[in-house]
Structure 1
Amino acid sequence: MLTFIGLGLYDERSITVEGREAVRSADRVFAEFYTSRLVGADVADLEAAHGVDVEVRDREGVERDPEPILAAAETGDAAFLTAGDTMISTTHTDLRLRAEARGIETRVVHGVTAQSAASSLTGLQNYRFGKAVTLPFPYAHGGDGVPDSVRETIEANRERGLHTVVYLDIKVGTGPTGPDPDHEEYMTADRAAGLLADGWRDALAVVVARAGSPDAVVAADRLSALAGREFGEPLHLLVVPGDLHHVEAEALVGLAGAPESVLEE
């Protein structure tokens, strides 16, 4: 059996009860934290909370060399952990398909996602979101500023009146000069706002920082204004709203501190 378990958003307590039981009953527990991580807990915290040893795999160890995971699931119960939900923002469908092809039973235990939290915290209605994008560090895509694909997605959503979740790049084990096992870098919302402001200086945007934590921050303003503010420790994301329902507009003022003058334009 191979069980994919979402850990939720913040620390070792964010997992569901079902997920906690699945972790504790597994013979071996694997995890990856190169696509996202828990901001309030490290591997030692997870091990102590659940009474297990966690074997952390890097990207290559999941995507190119999954044999240890599959072999463990073939002969016993293996758990595979990621922050958030294992099959939404962080998708491991390929690993699941490999397991199924070998006759290994699989299941998914879901966790809270950053996108659902962003909707909940901002007051923006979840069915009014369009396609999400990830904003990479400029060095990661070999260009300057914002990739055309990101701009085109945001514009397409805005033309349809839809909101855009902009996930912010995470680099673990790879830096500006190539592979670096000690490199860990998280794009901040102010940096992302500065990059996007080159195309939409006066556009309204919403920062969501540390969703799921006790000190989560939600702040709405023009991109140019958000670029000049600091939002503390990661993880951060941005939302670029489309057309606003009046309740959504009220929520951005009341919950995110949006200037009423921006919403009136």
Structure 2
Amino acid sequence: MLTFIGLGLYDEDSITVEGREALRDADRVFAEFYTSRLVGADVADLETAHGVDIEVRDREGVERDPEAILSAAETDDVAFLTAGDTMISTTHTDLRMRAEDRRIDTRVLHGVTAQSAASSLTGLQNYRFGKAVTLPFPYAHGGDGVPESVIEAIEANRERGLHTLVYLDIKVGTGPTGPDPDHEEYMTADYAAELLAEGWADTVGVVVARAGSPEPVVAADSLSGLADREFGDPLHMLLIPGDLHHVEAEALVGLAGAPESILE
């Protein structure tokens, strides 16, 4: 059995009760933290809180060489952990399909996602979001500024009146000069706003920082204004609102400090 368990958004307590029980019952536990991570807990915290030993796999060990995970799941109850909800990344869907091809039973125990948290914290209605995008570090896509694909996706959403959730790049194990096992880098919302302000300086953006933590930060302003602010420790997200229902506009003013001009 291979059980995919989402750990939620922040620390060792963010997991669901169902996920916690499955984790503690597992014979072996694997995890990856290159697609996202918990900023309020490290691997040692998770091991102590749940009484398990966790084998962390890098991208190579999940995407190209998952044999250790799959062979263990053929005979034992194996848990595979990720931050957030475990099936948001296509990497994990591929691993599940490989297990199914080998007639290994699988199940999915969900965790809170960044997308649902972003909607809940900002007051932007979840059914009014369009395609989400990931904003990479310029060095990661070999160019300057914002990739054309990101610009096109945001513009397409705005033309349809839809909100855009912009995930901000995470680099773990790879830096500007190539593979580096000690490298960890998290794009900040002010830096992302600075990049996007080149095309949309006066457009309202919304920052969500440390969703799932005891004190998340939610702030709305023009993108150029957000670029001049600091939002503390990671993880950060940035949202570009589309057309606003009056309740959404009121929520951004009241919950995120948006300029009252958006109510007009």
Same fold flag (TM > 0.5): yes
2:36 corresponding residue in structure 1: 36
The equivalent of 1:232 in structure 2 is 232
* Partner of residue 15, structure 2: 15
Cα deviations by residue, 1:62-111 (Å, 9 ceiling, x for unpaired)? 00010000011001100000000011256510000000000000000000
Alignment correspondent of 1:195: 195
CA contact (8 A) 1:32 1:56 kept: yes
The aligned residue for residue 167 of structure 1 is 167
Structure 1 gaps, min length 5: none
- What is the rounded CA distance, in whole Å, between the counterparts of 2:91 and 2:116 in structure 1? 16
Q: Give, in angstroms, the shift of residue 211 of structure 1.
A: 0.1
Q: Is the 8 A contact 2:63 2:91 kept in 1?
A: no
Structure 1 CA distance, aligned partners of 2:54 and 2:26?
A: 11
CA distance in 1, matches of 2:43, 2:124: 33
> In structure 1, what is the equivalent of residue 217 of structure 2?
217
Matched, 1:56 2:56: yes
CA contact (8 A) 2:124 2:248 kept: yes
Q: How many residues end up aligned between the 2 structures?
A: 264
C-alpha distance in 1, partners of 2:168/2:90?
13
Out of 85-94 and 29-38, give the one that drifted further: 85-94
In structure 2, C-alpha distance between the alignment counterparts of 1:218 and 1:202, rounded to whole Å? 19
Alignment of 1:84-233 (within 5 A): 84-89=84-89, 91-233=91-233
- Cα contact 1:222–1:262 (8 A) shared by 2: no
SS at match of 1:92: helix
Inter-partner Cα distance in structure 2 for 1:260 and 1:193 = 20
SS of alignment partner, residue 152 of structure 1: helix
CA distance in 1, matches of 2:126, 2:18: 25
Cα deviation, residue 261, structure 1 = 2.1
Give the direction of change, closer, same or farther, for the CA distance of 1:188–1:152 in structure 2 (3 Å limit): same
Question: How does the TM-score come out when normalised to structure 1?
Answer: 0.98
What is the CA–CA distance in structure 1 between the aligned matches of 2:9 and 2:150, rounded to whole Å?
A: 24
Query: Aligned-pair RMSD on alpha carbons?
Result: 0.8
Q: Tell me, in whole angstroms, the C-alpha distance in 1 between the residues paired with 2:263 and 2:104.
A: 53
Q: When the two structures are superposed, what TM-score results if normalisation uses the length of structure 2?
A: 0.99
State percent identity of aligned pairs. 87
Assess, with a 3 A threshold, how the Cα gap between structure 1 residues 212 and 38 changes in structure 2: closer, same or farther: same
Contact 2:131 2:157 in 1 (8 A): yes
CA contact (8 A) 1:204 1:221 kept: yes
CA distance in 1: counterparts of 2:89 and 2:95, whole angstroms: 15
Compute the displacement of 1:215 (Å): 1.6
Structure 2: stretches of 5+ with no match in the other structure: none
Contact 1:35 1:90 in 2 (8 A): no
The answer for the alignment partner of 1:260 in structure 2 is 260
Q: Find the counterpart in structure 2 of residue 75 from structure 1.
A: 75
